[in-house]
Structure 1
């Protein structure tokens, strides 16, 4: 089948209503991994929805239990044509955040797909169900039409990403042989702007922690004891304020990276500026450098007393959850020790600090890597648009498992956009992006099959793209 026909078939899938039909089925499964969810819904998504979709297109599927107690299951879909051909490892996550139905506007429901113009509403539409659906179907349509792909595929689906990918590290380390590949290509996160494809090559790391000021085991009347008993909320507010200045500039030296080099600045120089407050963050950096090349501290939640029904009382305890997003060049092991030293130096010894969940490590692939040039030029060849290339995503993903544990070059091609409402109410995907993404992923598959070559690297053979054959310089 010609390239032109293959790309048209891919676009027709999105434009004919077939994508909406398939996505509606995926959204209807309440595969929530957070507090609102049920474990049986996570497995049902794999067994009843994604597994049959893979098998419909000729993939072999296996479902694995999480190696950690209480962890969510995994699915590995595979199509192996010939061990001598290149192998692509792909990834997605079928779990979603809490539905929070009460926060959605009238006429919308988190687990019912609603189409309004270009927008497809529903929990998981953007993050991440439409993204792995596109990648699966793009491969599947080629496989059914041609009887082959010209390369091998391994597709890993996890069901716990929204809870920190609990157990994924252990699963990947225990199954290195099953997951072995030549390159990793995944889809998650947003495009930098809706009308232009984005390629990102890693992700910022993230570490969340709780700060607690546990002064007393009960509250005391603010009239009788105000001015006599220390207020934990005021102490906590001053402690948080000491971490940054009034514009959010980080004051803990160990929390600052050393990796904003000239080549990274050059890669970020021509990007359209993301939504930003011009007087927030590191003043010496551009908006793109602040989010893709630097670290940021955020307060995710704070509590003391009851904001819904405040009482005239001094609380006994105050709590806050903080988060550091960090790039390569930050000592992840020293993030919390550095915070501890900082608090002690500012007379906040009474504040208790503890990590929440597993941290994501920061990763970054060089923009000059051959696979990056190959994919970017394949995208340009298919849709006549040069993609934005980011050294890493501003958000966080378990990319270090693919980059470091499996040792693969990692390429991410997102099919969402920043204003999609992911992790909040009214989450939605754009059908226009989905249509373009179907063509992009089909084109990349065709080019891998045609333009990859086996080359000797040290004592082993590895597959590399012949990027000059798709117009790369």
Structure 2
């Protein structure tokens, strides 16, 4: 659309302004910034020409809702999803530019949240603005739900969606969150793994003890925890928890064939990650393990003395956090229960164990291949990039997918123009500036194409 091309510099300036707000949902000190970001977004939706824009409070951070329903009852209705909260920028010393002073270098905009998810989110609003300022209407009905808690597990979104299920009724969800395979290879994300999370505490003596006086006489909780964790995988990388793999389907020839089409090699992957070698469940390729096999990962362990120098202590307790990425056939609650039982059954003598399972698990998600939204997305991406998009999976988890499916009965189509190498959640996050205009054109065409298909 010519209007979008004319406003390219303004669109980038708006993203810089939006990303300058440190809307870090995980840190209470940023609560005022969260409100400021929600206000900025609501006002931008109003300036785009949407007459109904609302702030929906939650027990955590505010969600922003807007709607356009003037296309009529016979037109399709989409629910556009995104999130305006961002990850903490730590460690700050690793950033080359200030994380909340977005900086353009060449064709990259550096700053926290520019890729996840402020850039992909904002461009959808800018497309609405272009439609309404030139044509005075949109080709379909739209509802927008932009939350402020995605980076902390969308803790209150399920309740919010349930309370407003009538207002959020739509044909399907079109998500600005997500990402593409690479800047050179158009792709459509068709699956995401689920999630189960646990935190462990192993306790021994009632207080920290002198390791010289008591070492070898009482069990060290750190040793016991290390033994528990070491026993969670066998030598081939397979999870040893009984029942962990029950109900899982093997990869189909079509899935394996699709993965083999992707421009992926372990050598380049190792260069990207800095890891010395690939590792994981034997019998599967790296991408097969990332997208279609479940995993159990320890995310952190701590206990005892970790400061500078030496302190000869036998700690009273040790802790660990772990997450399981799940595939279809696995229920988060069941996997958490199996893991808890396995840990209790293998607990060494002389210590006690406390296991806390997170309430915010998620089932795995897979988009039907013939879904109308997927069909349109493939058409639009093929036209934009001159080659059909490849179907890819997502190793991570987006709990909101289950919320939309279980509460609203809606499938979600990912249509983000972020790219997987843009260092989200890490220092020096960036968004490719050309992707802003590419995303705008694609979203504009998606809405137009879906509206036309309905009229046929």
Q: Structure 1 residue 242: deviation in Å?
A: 1.0
CA, structure 1 residues 357+429, in 2 after alignment: closer, same or farther (shift >3 Å)? farther
2:38 matched residue in structure 1: 46
Name the counterpart of 1:416. Answer: 418
How many residue pairs get matched? Answer: 441
Q: 1:203 to 1:11 in 2, by over 3 A?
A: farther
Equivalences for residues 144-163 of structure 1 within 5 A: 144-163=133-152
- How far apart are residue 393 of structure 1 and its match? 5.2
1:247-258 maps to which residues of 2 (within 5 A)? 248-256=237-245, 258=248
- By how many angstroms is 1:415 displaced? 1.6
CA distance in 2, matches of 1:441, 1:151: 12
- Structure 2 CA distance for aligned equivalents of residues 393 and 419 of structure 1: 14
Gaps of 5+ in 2: none
Instruction: Please state whether the residue corresponding to 2:12 is helix, strand or coil.
Output: helix
Query: Equivalent residue for 1:237?
Result: 226
Instruction: Report if aligned partners of 2:362, 2:397 keep a CA contact under 8 Å in 1.
Output: no
User: In the aligned structure 1, how far is the partner of 2:243 from the partner of 2:326?
Assistant: 11
Which residue number corresponds to residue 94 of structure 1?
84
Shift of 1:320: 0.5
Q: Distance in 2 between matches of 1:272 and 1:88?
A: 32
Cα pair 2:278 2:286 within 8 Å, conserved: no
Q: Within 2, Cα distance between the matches of 1:26 and 1:10? A: 18
Number of the residue aligned with 2:202:
213
In the TM superposition, residue 366 of structure 1 has moved relative to its aligned partner by: 1.7
**Match in the other structure for 2:283:** 284
1:184 aligns with 2:186: no
Structure 1's 328 and 378: CA in aligned 2 closer, same or farther, altered over 3 A? same
2:267 is aligned with 1:268: no
Residue 93 of structure 2 is aligned to residue 103 of structure 1 = yes
Report the Cα offset of residue 101 of structure 1: 5.8
After superposition, what is the alpha-carbon deviation per residue over 1:162-219, rounded to whole angstroms, capped at 9, x for unaligned?
1110110011111111001112111223321222222223421112211111112322
CA contact (8 A) 2:186 2:385 kept: no
1:260 CA drift (Å):
3.7
Cα drift, residue 356 of structure 1? 3.2
- The equivalent of 1:56 in structure 2 is 47
Cα deviation for residue 10 of structure 1 reads 3.2
Counterparts in 2 of 1:39 and 1:46: CA distance versus 1, 3 Å: same
Aligned mates of 1:99, 1:224 — CA distance in 2: 43
Q: Which moved more, 1:204-213 or 1:153-162?
A: 204-213
Once the 2 structures are TM-superposed, how far is the Cα of residue 308 of structure 1 from its aligned partner?
2.7
Q: Distance in 2 between matches of 1:79 and 1:434?
A: 23
Deviates more, 1:171-180 or 1:427-436: 427-436
Counterpart secondary structure, 1:157: strand
How many Å apart are 1:225 and its aligned residue? 2.0
Distance 1:420 1:36 in 2: 26
CA contact (8 A) 2:3 2:134 kept: no
Residue 459 of structure 1 corresponds to none
Residues 229, 24 of structure 1: CA spacing in aligned structure 2 closer, same or farther, 3 A cutoff?
same
- 1:32-431 alignment runs, 5 A limit: 32-35=24-27, 37-47=29-39, 49-59=40-50, 60-66=52-58, 70-81=59-70, 82-100=72-90, 102-106=92-96, 108-246=97-235, 248-256=237-245, 258-262=248-252, 263-273=254-264, 275=269, 279-309=278-308, 310-348=310-348, 350-390=352-392, 392=394, 394-431=396-433
Q: Is the 8 A contact 1:365 1:391 kept in 2?
A: no
Is the Cα contact below 8 Å between 2:367 and 2:412 reproduced in 1? yes
Does the CA-based 8 Å contact 1:100-1:110 persist in structure 2?
no
Structure 1: which 5+ residue stretches go unaligned?
1-5, 454-465, 467-473
Partner in structure 2 of residue 462 of structure 1: none
- What's 1:463 paired with? none
Shift of 1:405: 1.8
TM-score by length of 1: 0.87
Distance of aligned partners of 1:129 and 1:260 in 2 relative to their CA distance in 1, 3 Å threshold: farther
Deviation at 1:255, TM superposition (A): 2.6
Give the match's secondary structure for 2:259: helix
* Rounded Cα–Cα distance in structure 1 between residues aligned with 2:77 and 2:219: 62
